[in-house]
Amino acid sequence: MYKDQSGRKSLDIESTPAGAGMGRNHEKWKRMEEELRCLRRENLCRSTRTIESAQKSHVRYRGRDMLMLASNSYLDFCDEERIKEYASRALMEYGTGSGGSRLTTGTTALHIRLEEALARFKGREAALVFNSGFAANTGILPALCREGDVIYSDELNHASIIDGCRQSKARTVIYRHNDMEDLEKKILAHPGETGLIVSDGVFSMDGDIVDLPGLVRLADTYGLLSMIDEAHATGVIGRSGRGCEEYYHMEGRTDILMGTLSKAIGAEGGYVCGSRILVEYLKNKARSYIFSTSLSPVTMAAAIRGLELLDQEPWRVQRLSENVAWFCECLRRHGLEVSSHSAIVPIFVGDEGRAIEASERLMEQGIFIPAIRYPTVRKGGAILRAALMASHTRQELAGAARAITRAVTAPAVAVPDF
Ligand SMILES: Cc1ncc(COP(=O)(O)O)c(C=O)c1O
């Protein structure tokens, strides 16, 4: 038996009663058990922490108030009164579930309103909502690319892009992170082949921003489609939070803009924005859209109101960006080398065990910030990933920067094996 990050005892196969349906002696179970043991030994075993309040800049965890420095709710919309009020009305009017996939009973008037709002917000002809960002990527890429095509994918792209590439059966060519020279070399090595370049807009762990001018130039030059994942860009970069195109003043230049409603917008669901033809095609070809029960109307309503607030109150985006600049400056004053132009500030630790220790120290001090380890980042490349919100105060961030510096520079403590 070992303890998870909440300090609770977690399932251990040894302690599971025989006959509990696990086929106790089966080779597969043994292999799973061994793999879990191995993950624990290498400080790579994952578990969950149970939050006992709404997701906002302060949360309750194990009965304590904690400063939340890990949430993707960048604009602090998950617990926003006007959004909750609008979603509650949708709950009373439309109920809890959609009852089917989008193509059967799962499309409500709210889905249509949301898709219209997304298309407007991103300056595109049309939009399509998926059940999550993950489902969007694993739906879009296999629908658009098949055997015989090439997908050029940044080496640090999100797992959902990686899985979408795999499912597509197209040849996937990985280029060095945000390196347009390397990308061009790789495109030239596959002359005449049709395909697509795909990249995170804001990279989910490093927080850096895609070289959109370079990527679009190559796509145009070589007749490839361009696709940007705006999961961490929407509501965060660009003067009014419209994402990468606004950030670079390149409105309308990308073929496919994909994103999620689960981060700055404070709801759930993925989306794609693009031409009418693209959306019509995906409705007919994207399997994660066709074969999955649609999101609840309540979630749609929350997303509609979240988008409206983002549109009406761009000062939130400004506040977030000021917070990031201030937090980075505080960390740098303490001697840590950091920089970010998004809401994600990675603090490099390296060793997985040390990253866990630092995270646990910070937890004890009331700062919620997780250690990110392999396979989310490379082995030996563990980080503390700070994710900032518009509602954090300068004082909170200055205090957190001090505590983080102490935690990551403290001498290592010998941690007993589980
Ligand atoms: C870059 C990127 N794309 C896609 C996703 C998936 O989005 P969702 O959480 O809505 O499934 C994430 C989520 O972590 C992400 O970081």
- Cβ atoms of residues 255 and 225 within 8 Å: yes
- Treating both helix axes as pointing N-terminal to C-terminal, what angle do 297-312 and 109-122 enclose, rounded to 10 degrees? 30
Q: Which helix (H) or strand (E) holds 196?
A: strand 195-200
**Residue 316, token pair as written in the block:** 């939130």
- By C-alpha distance, which of 136, 171, 176, 185 is closest to 154? 176
Q: Report the helix count and the strand count for the chain, using DSSP H and E.
A: 14, 13
Q: Which two tokens stand for residue 284?
A: 């007919």
Per-residue pLDDT in tens (0 to 9) along the chain, 418 residues: 444 454 454 444 445 554 456 656 788 899 999 999 999 998 888 888 999 999 999 999 999 999 999 999 999 999 999 999 999 999 999 999 999 999 999 999 999 999 999 999 999 999 999 999 999 999 999 999 999 999 999 999 999 999 999 999 999 999 999 999 999 999 999 988 899 999 999 999 999 999 999 999 999 999 999 999 999 999 999 999 999 999 999 999 999 999 999 999 999 999 999 999 999 999 999 999 999 999 999 999 999 999 999 999 999 999 999 999 999 999 999 999 999 999 999 999 999 999 999 999 999 999 999 999 998 899 999 999 999 999 999 999 999 999 999 999 977 655 444 3
Distance CA 408, CA 367 (A): 13
Specify the ligand 1 atom closest to the Cα of 262: 10
Q: Which atom of ligand 1 is nearest to the CA of 201?
A: 1
Residue 395 CA, ligand 1 centroid: distance in Å: 30
**Residue 24 has what pLDDT?**
60
**Is 181 in contact with 174 (CB distance < 8 Å)?**
no
Q: Atom 9 (ligand 1): residue with closest C-alpha?
A: 133
Q: Which of 248-277 are b and which e, b meaning 16 or more Cβ less than 10 Å from the residue's Cβ?
A: beeeebbbbbbbbbbbbbbbbbbbbbbeee
Q: Is 169 left (phi over 0), alpha (psi -120 to 50) or beta?
A: left
Whether 342 sits among the annotated catalytic residues: the reply is: no
The pLDDT, as a whole number, for residue 44 is: 84
Name the residue of 204, 299, 372 to mutate for ligand 1: max ligand atoms within 8 A of Cβ: 204
Q: Tell me, which fold does domain 52-77+315-409 have in CATH? A: Aspartate Aminotransferase, domain 1 (3.90.1150)
Q: Which helix H or strand E contains 121, and what residues bound it?
A: helix 109-122
Q: What's the pLDDT score for residue 3?
A: 47
Is 263 designated active site? yes
What number does the ligand 1 atom closest to the CA of 260 have? 10
CA–CA separation, 118 and 139 (whole Å): 18
Q: How far does the centroid of ligand 1 lie from the alpha carbon of residue 186, in Å?
A: 26
What is the CATH T-level fold of the domain 81-312, as seen in this structure?
Answer: Aspartate Aminotransferase; domain 2 (3.40.640)
CA distance to 120, 168, 301, 366, 368, per residue, from 71 (Å): 27, 31, 21, 15, 9
Q: Is the CB of 160 under 6 A from ligand 1?
A: yes
Determine the pLDDT at residue 415. Answer: 45
* pLDDT recorded at residue 46: 84
How remote is the CA of residue 133 from the centroid of ligand 1, in Å? 5
State if residue 246 touches ligand 1 by the CB under 6 angstroms criterion: no
Specify whether the CB–CB gap between 83 and 56 falls below 8 A.
no
Active site residue 232: yes
Measure the CA–CA gap between 112 and 118, rounded to whole angstroms. Answer: 10
Beta strands 64-68; 367-368: pairing state:
parallel
**Catalytic residue, candidates 263, 288, 296, 340:** 263
pLDDT at residue number 1: 41
Q: How far is the CA of 200 from the centre of ligand 1 (A)?
A: 10
CA of 331 to the centre of ligand 1 (A): 27
Q: Is 342 touching ligand 1 by the criterion CB < 6 Å?
A: no
Token pair of 149 as six digits:
């095509």
Catalytic residue among 204, 321, 342, 359: 204
Q: State residue 416's pLDDT score.
A: 45
Domain ranges of the chain: 1-48, 52-77+315-409, 81-312
